[in-house]
């Protein structure tokens, strides 16, 4: 997950293009992470030392680790340790980007450090994010974009985990400033009790059908009762797990039945709501949350258009 | 020969009804009826006298807990298994206090349904909850 997240950070900061990001993300699935990238990431080697070893590798048939030991840059124990880290998923993107000459290792490392600085991350938190800790990633996203809305972090983290569990493991979340969502399909559910919460998933028909098909485990081509039931059940399942988590912490909540709206406009109260864009390989959709369900207005887009 | 069960599925979700029906067919249940809310479930329970009912909790109109209460008042011997994605201890306690046979956590799995059916066929008590 960190690859998706950091890849978009590089894109948003103009360090790579959209085409390069897509290519790198495709490649990282099959890329074997090389020693140099791991060594720099672990702080065991500088990028200059890595270049030196690469140059030596062109001259002699030896493995990276062997040359590093020969040159006195690393000990045998460090090389063994790195071998065990070679499966670290967060480095796949780095390897893909470097292999394609989109960035040098040094540029990638600088971008990582800048990312850490901008998000005011401790070493511990940064390691958690790099290892794909969804909770840490969501917390960092909300902290940077909506510090007043960190109360939503637990819900959003669980939602992202459930997207990974049930829908798609290539997920990337972004904060959204939109307060009015134009939803071709809107599935919502209200949680009532001590801490009320209105939650909704807004998607266009294509993405709606993709989510419905994956969750139903069969290809659905029409947004009929079964497709609507499928997306509704996903939201219900997620909210049910959220209720169990809250119950385990001593807060008892209840759910109302889910609701499906077609061609609607959702307006939420700015202060008490949060809109998150969820990007998956199936497409992009919105997660809309509000702690004040009474302020959520769902209007029929067709009627709105008639009055214009 | 193993006894074949008559089962009533009550869930507002067309997807859950379809999936559960498929599982029950694998389990060779004799007759499978469906209800999309608590009101229809109460009516069908009276008519078909099922051996087992799978009942969702969160439903529009009459929810599963209210339907369970009415069904138990009518026929306390009926075996009703509550199914919910929110398997909190309070939901579990409420359902069992009202006489539910068992409680299963969604998503519903073949293993959980099979275990319940075997228990019903053997005539075992349903105090073990799969939460």
For A76, counting Cβ atoms within 10 Å of its Cβ (0-12 exposed, 13-18 middle, 19+ buried), the class is exposed
Cβ atoms of A246 and A239 closer than 8 Å:
no
- The per-residue pLDDT for B130 is 45
Query: What pLDDT does residue A4 have?
Result: 81
Q: What letters, b where the CB count within 10 A reaches 16 and e where it falls short, cover A122-140?
A: eeebbebbbebbbbbbbbb
Predicted pLDDT of residue B23: 92
Q: Which residues of A touch B60 (CB under 8 A)?
A: 257
Assign domain A149-307 to a CATH class.
alpha beta
Residue among B14, B59, B106 minimizing CB distance to A237: B106
Q: b/e map of A21-47 (b: 16 or more CB within 10 Å)? A: bebbbebbeebebbbbbbbbbeebbeb
Using CB atoms, pick whichever of A216, A232, A255 lies closest to residue B86: A255
pLDDT at A243 over 60: yes
B12 shares contact with chain A (CB less than 8 Å): yes
Q: What is the architecture of the domain spanning B6-122?
A: 3-Layer(aba) Sandwich (3.40)
Beta carbons of A239 and B86 less than 8 angstroms apart? yes
Q: pLDDT band for position A61 (50/70/90)?
A: low
Cα separation, B117 vs B129, whole angstroms: 13
| Sign, Cα dihedral of A89, A94, A95, A97 | positive
- A-chain residue closest to B37, CA distance: A257
Q: Does A71 have pLDDT greater than 80?
A: yes
Nearest to A241 among B15, B60, B85 (CB): B85
Q: Cβ–Cβ of A236/B107 closer than 8 Å?
A: no
Show pLDDT as tens, one digit a residue, over chain B (131 residues).
Answer: 467 899 999 999 999 999 999 999 988 788 899 999 999 999 999 999 999 999 999 999 899 999 999 999 999 999 999 999 988 888 888 899 999 999 998 888 888 899 999 999 888 877 544 44
What residue spans define the domains of chain A? 2-135, 149-307
The one-character DSSP state at B130 is B
């Amino acid at each position: 997950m960190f690859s998706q997240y950091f890849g978009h950070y590089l894109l948003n900061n103009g360090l790579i293009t959209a085409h390069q990001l897509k290519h790198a993300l495709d490649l990282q699935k099959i890329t074997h992470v090389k020693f140099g990238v791991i060594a720099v990431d672990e702080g065991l080697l500088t990028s200059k030392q890595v270049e030196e070893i690469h140059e030596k590798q062109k001259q002699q048939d030896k493995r990276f680790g062997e040359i590093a030991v020969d040159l006195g840059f690393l000990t045998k124990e460090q090389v063994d340790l790195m071998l065990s880290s070679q499966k670290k998923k967060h480095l796949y993107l780095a390897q893909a980007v470097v292999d394609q000459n989109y960035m040098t290792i040094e540029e990638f490392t600088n971008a990582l450090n800048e990312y850490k600085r901008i998000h005011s991350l401790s070493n511990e938190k940064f390691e958690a994010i790099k290892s794909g800790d969804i909770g840490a990633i969501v917390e960092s996203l909300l902290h940077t974009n909506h510090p007043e809305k960190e109360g939503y972090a637990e819900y959003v983290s669980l939602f992202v985990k459930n997207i990974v569990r049930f829908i798609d493991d290539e997920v990337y979340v972004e904060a959204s400033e939109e307060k009015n969502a134009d939803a071709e399909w809107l599935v919502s559910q209200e949680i009532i009790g001590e801490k009320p919460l209105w939650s909704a998933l807004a998607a266009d028909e294509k993405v709606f059908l993709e989510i419905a098909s994956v969750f139903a485990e069969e290809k659905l081509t029409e947004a009929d009762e079964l497709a609507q039931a499928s997306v509704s059940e996903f939201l219900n399942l997620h909210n049910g797990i959220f209720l169990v988590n809250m119950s385990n912490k001593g807060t008892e909540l209840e759910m109302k039945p889910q609701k499906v709206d077609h061609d609607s406009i959702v307006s939420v109260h700015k202060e008490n709501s949060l809109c998150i864009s969820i990007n998956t390989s199936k497409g992009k959709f919105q997660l809309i949350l509000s702690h004040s369900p009474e302020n959520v207005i769902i209007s029929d887009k067709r009627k709105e258009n008639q009055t214009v | 020969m193993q006894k074949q069960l008559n089962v009533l599925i009550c869930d507002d979700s067309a997807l859950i009804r379809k999936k559960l029906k498929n599982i029950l067919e694998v389990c060779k249940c004799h007759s499978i009826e469906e209800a999309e809310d608590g009101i229809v479930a109460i009516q069908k329970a009276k008519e078909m006298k099922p051996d087992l009912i799978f009942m969702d909790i969160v439903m529009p109109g009459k929810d599963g807990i209210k339907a369970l209460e009415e069904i138990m008042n009518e026929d306390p011997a009926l075996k009703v298994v509550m199914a919910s994605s929110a398997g909190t201890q309070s939901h579990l306690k409420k359902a069992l206090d009202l006489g539910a046979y068992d409680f299963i956590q969604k998503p519903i799995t073949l293993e959980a349904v099979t275990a319940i059916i075997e228990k019903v066929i053997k005539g075992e008590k349903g105090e073990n909850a799969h939460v």
